[in-house]
């Protein structure tokens, strides 16, 4: 099914990404909520502040808020997978942390399921979540 906006059905692509084991969780989200949020994101919401305001001050039920949280978790998971696909051992990456707000740069040593091990020029090894990394 097409959303009518020229984009593929978000429910179908989400089910393909998560697999049949998690299909039950996705089918609990009403399809029209996904499409309405998707259309609203394209047509009306220009900034992340607009999205935040709509979530904070909207009249949402617990089920709707839970479905939004699941959507954010899914988006993070997709981002992490996308970043990991672009990484190989030996790639130079950069990230910022609370300990080093100016940023840290290093070379990828290992790519695990959740974290990427990065060795800095000073010899320290860091375990960094993949979605925090950017390729230099």
What pLDDT is recorded for position 16?
52
**CATH says 87-135 is which class?**
mainly beta
Phi, psi of 31 (to 5 degrees): -60, -40
Q: What share of the chain is helix, strand, coil (3-state, %, to 5)?
A: 50, 20, 30
Domain boundaries of the chain, sorted by first residue: 10-84, 87-135
80: confidence class by pLDDT, cuts 50, 70, 90: confident
What pLDDT is recorded for position 25?
46
- Whose tokens are 């939004």? That residue is 68
The mean-pLDDT minimum among 26-30, 37-41, 88-92, 107-111 falls in 26-30
40: confidence class by pLDDT, cuts 50, 70, 90: low
**Strands, E, within 1-136: which ranges?**
92-95, 104-111, 115-120, 125-129, 134-135
């Amino acid at each position: 099914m097409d959303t009518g906006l020229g984009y593929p059905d978000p429910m179908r692509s989400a089910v393909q990404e998560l697999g049949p084991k998690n299909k039950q969780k996705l089918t609990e989200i009403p399809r029209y909520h996904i499409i309405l949020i998707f259309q609203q994101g394209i047509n009306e919401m220009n900034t992340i502040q607009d999205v935040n305001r709509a979530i904070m001050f909207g009249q949402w039920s617990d089920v709707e808020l839970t479905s939004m949280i699941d959507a954010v978790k899914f988006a993070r998971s997709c981002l992490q997978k996308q970043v990991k696909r672009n990484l190989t051992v030996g790639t130079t990456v950069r990230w910022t942390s609370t300990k080093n707000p100016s940023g840290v740069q290093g070379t990828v040593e290992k790519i695990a399921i959740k974290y990427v091990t990065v060795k800095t020029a000073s010899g320290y090894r860091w375990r960094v979540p993949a979605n925090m990394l950017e390729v230099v």
